[in-house]
Structure 1
């Protein structure tokens, strides 16, 4: 028993399509998403630190890099299915946690098991690093969905993803990085020309205001 299976699992993440069946113009994998979330978390951490917030960078990188690793066990479930009911969501989480625990017990050397339990279980907690992860995860989804919107994909699910991401990010409005995001980064993102832009922006700014 070594760390071989953990490393092999990284290849699996390259093959798992993110939000399967949704993205049409650009496919996204779980592995690519994990890298982007880690990079976005780094940006948000820089902003927080610039505002005097103490960041545990090791914890932040661990949380963001590994936050979706366990999807190698059950894949990325379509959001409408995953959130159909609290009961179903709870059941999926229970299955994922049991499979993760079994994986750690069987494939991770005992000397490293506690480390991987910390890394592979839910990282979105009430710590600064946990909140930054939660924001970074939704910022990436916001950018993913916006890419489909500006390419005039007519399916309404992308606007729903975009709006849902805004709502979730705004829940962390007490974080300096979120305030900075909406003041400095978000307006630049929206400064693109695409069909239906005025109507779309009107609905978006109503949410932000």
Structure 2
């Protein structure tokens, strides 16, 4: 969508970022979303551990002549480039769908509502992107139109976030 809107997408960079952005989970495992998002402090600590273990892996397991390339590829792909922004949005949409699915099934854990809220706020922060505008105008309303328990509450929360617009934390 971004390319159709006139942006130049470096597809190789985007594919590399997308393929490698969760690679560091191999060091500590794929921690379940409710645990990973339990507190901002825990999320920061986990990111720090992943980064240090990744650095250690590159320094100890990768030949010196390839270390710079691997360090770059295994670094955080969600950066200020268009490709990093696309990855950030895609990752948050995935998280939003995951939390929505749990809410839709009636999961009583409040962390899923928190994850939904945080994900949507992050997505809205990228609303200048064509793909985000499409998601907010076409996909999200259709998703929320499906009947589920506490539908009115989630619709109200969504409206509140969309009305408030991008926020800085």
Determine if the TM-score, normalized by the shorter chain, exceeds 0.5: yes
**Whole-Å separation in 2 of the counterparts to 1:189 and 1:65:** 27
Q: Which runs of 5+ in 1 are unaligned?
A: 1-46
Q: Secondary structure at the match of 1:173?
A: coil
**Whole-Å separation in 2 of the counterparts to 1:136 and 1:119:** 18
Aligned match for 1:67, one of 15, 21, 27: 21
Q: Secondary structure at the match of 2:73?
A: helix
- Give the TM-score normalised by structure 1: 0.70
**RMSD of aligned residue pairs (Cα, Å):** 1.9
Q: Secondary structure at the match of 2:87?
A: helix
**Whole-Å separation in 2 of the counterparts to 1:208 and 1:151:** 24
Residue 125 of structure 1 is matched in structure 2 by: 79
Aligned match for 1:79, one of 12, 28, 37: 37
- Structure 1 consecutive aligned stretches of length 4 or more whose deviation exceeds 6 Å: none
CA separation of 1:142 and 1:93: change in aligned 2, threshold 3 A:
closer
**Whole-Å separation in 2 of the counterparts to 1:190 and 1:108:** 47
Cα offsets for 1:165-190 (capped at 9, x unmatched): 00011111121211111012211221
Would you say how many aligned residue pairs link Structure 1 and Structure 2?
159
**Whole-Å separation in 2 of the counterparts to 1:74 and 1:200:** 33
Q: Which runs of 5+ in 2 are unaligned?
A: 164-169
Residue 149 of structure 2 is matched in structure 1 by: 195
